[in-house]
Structure 1
Amino acid sequence: MYKRGKLWVAATLFVLALGIQIGGTTDASADTVTPAQQVTMQQTNVAAQTAPQTENSSYNKADQGNYAALDSVQLNQQGQLEVSDWHATNAAVNRPNHWLIAYDETTRQELNRIQVQTPVARPDVARVHNVYDAANSGFHEQLNLTPAAITNGDSITVVSRYTADSAGNGDAVDYWFAPFKIDTRNEAYLEGTKLTDNQLVVGGWHATNLAADKPQHYLIVLDTSDHNRELGRINVTNSARPDVARVFPGIINAAHSGFTGKFTLPDWVISRGDTLNVISRYTSSADGNSDYVDYWFAPVQLGQQNVANLDNVHVQNNQLVVSG
């Protein structure tokens, strides 16, 4: 160090150099993530056990990763895609709006979006990824889907987006999760059939996402022994079946898939012992003859059994008394 008059030259240069060093550290923050880095697909399991991060603690500003994981995704009974996930990245700095978007991979269009208002605490994520606000990177939301997307069994991708735009458009960093395929199974069971006073009484359940846009439910009886001649049809109101919903949680009408029905049969159908087919049909048409999805149950054989039994025989007051 030396003095030129009253000026300490070395001290001034040191302060200037220190200012340059601090400026360089700031320039390396994640605020300058490139578009290519923003769309990096890096899904990580959170398992490491290190010191937890809090919202106000320091974070590694040089980390340019885009981290996320899909913890749970399912179609609930209200026709919503229910998702529980997390998404953490330094690119979220200065992008305070967090949006979730349901994108239909089949039709190539957005179905719905919702803004995350209440983040879910994820200290497990913060222990693994020392990035901006990782401790509050979780979310649990429901995204409404269209009946057409459910009926057609489309593939739906959930997009997690941090953006500076309040409407969720532009200046964004996205994470695209793996597509979710909607369940297209057609499940049903005929639990009971009986013939009482010329009436065929049937009961069971029928659950399928293929009926998401088909509100009418018909039961139809055909006479298989007579070239599938229709004997009758009835419009039924479904009943609650929580047991079915527990087995098929991804089918939206499973919780109300139960049915019962009664059909009056002609005498000649009963006397011949014809074989009948019961059909459960969901349809969008008033008469049930178009835009429908069917489930054909196993044939019901009326049979021609001739059965009897003599239960009791005895003599009383010089009379033969029989019952059976």
Structure 2
Amino acid sequence: MRSINLGPFKVSAISLGCMNLSHAYGKPPSAQQGERVLLAALDAGVTLFDTAALYGFGANETLVGRVLKAHRSRFTLASKGGMGGVAGDDGVVRRVIDGRPEAIRRNCEDSLRRLQTDVIDLYYLHRWDKKVPVEESVGALARLVEQGKVRTIGLSEVSAATIRKAHAVHPVTAVQTEYSLWTRNPEIAVLDACEELGATFVAFSPVARGFLCDALHDVTTLDAKDIRRAMPRFEPAHYARNLALLPGYKALAQEAGCTPAQLALAWLLHKRPFILPIPGTTSVDHLHEDLAAADVRLAPDLLQRLEAHINQDTVSGHRYSAQARTEVDTEDYPDQAG
């Protein structure tokens, strides 16, 4: 697979988001299946693995550390802090955003231990804690670099203005945000900011949380703990309208000679040379399907028709609930701001 620059690293142009192996979409696969996917990705040439303290409240980092420790020299390791799980008085672990420097230091130490490594190559602020100036949180990340615990730093789900504030404190190697045909918010300002500052843009949920794989037709079958149940686009009324986009989308994939998932990934690779998709999967077969998208070539006319078919104006529903939107700093299109 061809590679792209990620700060001082060269990584596979399609890499692996590890979240699905422990978190978010209902009951995760077994540890044995997670191990199979991780090792298959490594064998297939994936050289960036992306995890976070939040995923499975540490379980994902533990899995990645256990499985990939022996191969540490073969890949670039990314993780995230500033958001994780905290047990309440009732014993229930809940997600907490905490960007205080002392919290970030503690998060990093915990991640290093779970990942069984001396250094994290790319360490993100998972969410900007709006109670803490971003300069303070990034200052804590910079000190981790000085201490040799982290090689480079990144930000997740932030605006162009916040990226520039952070970059003034310490160079930002990567910005990670949801980006796909049906979530185009980075096109407002963040992609331009990344290009200006020389940061790689890492696109998570590049296949629209399964929608662009043509893999989910009945949202009522989603697991009770699947995070998509709280996302407006997956509410039955919105999703019914979104499903109407799939026949035309699949026809474009057929014209391009690829699968629907490959079309979504190939579109991202055609957008700008510094965009790095990190699809996640629990299936080795789907992993190989995703990675093959690096070889798909799309004609300019097909790209234009594809973007006209699925975009912020044709998709029904916001990507996040009203509560979740308060936790991110990304720009919105005017009709999505409410």
TM-score using structure 2 length: 0.20
More relative contact order in 1 or in 2 (CA 8 Å, sep 6+)? 2
Higher strand share: 1
